[in-house]
Amino acid sequence: MENNLNNKAILLMEDGTQIFGNSIGIDGIVIGETIFNTAITGYQEIITDPSYYKQIIILTYPHIGNVGTNIDDNESSKIYAKGLIIHNLSKIPSNYRSTEKLDVFLKKKNVVAIEGIDTRYLTRLICKKKINKIALISNKKNFNYKSILYKIRKFKGLQGLDLVKDITTKINYPWILGNKNKQIIKNYVFSMHVIVLDFGVKNSILKMLIDRKCKVTVVSAFISYKDLILLNPDGIFLSNGPGDPTPCHYIIDIVKKILITDIPVFGVCFGHQILAIANGAKIIKMDIGHHGSNHPVQDLENNKVLITTQNHNFTIDKNNFPKNLRITHKSLFDNTIEGIHCINKPAFGFQGHPEASPGPHDSSILFDYFVKLIHIYCRKKYKRF
């Protein structure tokens, strides 16, 4: 059966449910896993986060696009998500930094997007039915409903796939842009060399390291251990990234070798899970992932509560938790593991996003702790600090 759309779009779920809306992106058909993000602000940062690679994003806040888009808030050079679903697009953005409207931005970035959907209702529907595979059909003159529904049901999802290989940097490069003055920093006397393994790193993470006077080099996830050590790192950062870390054996193997040394290691989100696997933990898929900027996390070292930004569909399995790790943070939403620390090594991980962007900066202190570990390491290695 063929159907026609004229400036319209359809959201088609794997159970056959159809929800109609309006196209605000390019014409096309995309099929993928969907996630919902509950953040009220920061839509530009969310949709340019490489962690959303091959996913379809639902934004639950009803009004999106009210501040337009700008050149400063991108977390990467492109939109890696397959599609975007929102309730209401603000037609007239109002912000002194705005350079173009959201729908124009989406079209330039080649994204299929739909508005006019009650995204809070859709979120409840997804949670109730426990289905997350959908298709977005935008402005197609002819499409076959049965054929698309068949493809949705045949789609196996993202678990077990190595997504990092598609988005990691192909060449190593220095990062020199910070947050504090938003200018290229030329006058810092860099005293700490941090190597960032790029699994889909956000720009804000790199800026946080620069703000702490680190010399930052971003390297491919495929770098060899030998080449990594030749860069003479004082600290190693395992970045955020998309999907399931378990199939990324080449990354896990290099982290195991790093852990034999005393080089400080900080893993965030995907990198946190990689660190856990390298220490013997297992990763499991969550029924409902964490995506938002209001997630309460308890620091088990001092019982303080941090409001954090989260973006993950996988978590560390509590069963058979390795003895060489200790749990440092837990989610107050579902008690999942949010932080780990190696018992006898200066290596730790955090499941949330301490750089936020968007979100609160409660957990940015973890960057300070990382720098503290680097200082200790450098005192032993170079007799400095």
State the Cα angle at 17 between 84 and 51, rounded to 5°: 30
Beta strand 55-59 pairing with 347-350: unpaired
Q: Which residues on adjacent β-strands are paired with residue 350?
A: 268, 339
Residue type (1 letter), 70: N
Residue 181 pLDDT: 55
Q: With bands split at pLDDT 50, 70 and 90, how would you rate the model's confidence at 244?
A: very high
Residues known to be catalytic = 269, 353, 355
**pLDDT exceeds cutoff 90 at 381:** no
Residues 6+ apart with CB under 8 A from 165: 221, 222
Q: Are 99 and 225 in contact (CB under 8 A)?
A: no
Q: How many CB atoms lie within 10 A of CB 59?
A: 24
In this structure, what is the dihedral angle of CA atoms 80, 252, 353, 345, given to the nearest 10 degrees?
Answer: -160
- Mean pLDDT of the region 200-205: 98
Residue 382 pLDDT: 80
**pLDDT exceeds cutoff 90 at 385:** no
Q: State the Cα–Cα distance between residues 83 and 317, nearest whole angstrom.
A: 30
Q: Name the token pair of 363.
A: 């957990």
Q: Mind listing the pLDDT tens digit for each residue in 17-30?
A: 999 999 999 999 99
Q: Mind listing the pLDDT tens digit for each residue in 135-183?
A: 999 987 778 999 999 999 999 999 999 999 999 999 999 999 888 655 5
Give the C-alpha distances (Å, rounded to integers) separating 148 from 1, 79, 143: 11, 24, 8
Q: Considering the entire predicted model, what is its pTM?
A: 0.95
Q: Name the token pair of 268.
A: 């965030």
Q: Mind listing the pLDDT tens digit for each residue in 259-274?
A: 999 999 999 999 999 9
Note the maximum CA span of the chain: 74
Q: Is 274 left (phi over 0), alpha (psi -120 to 50) or beta?
A: alpha
- pLDDT > 70 fraction of the chain, expressed in percent and rounded: 95
Task: Of 282, 219, 210, give the one whose Cα is nearest residue 252.
Answer: 282
Task: Of 355, 63, 3, 54, give the one whose Cα is nearest residue 210.
Answer: 355
Full set of structural domains in the chain with CATH: 2-154 (3.50.30.20), 164-382 (3.40.50.880)
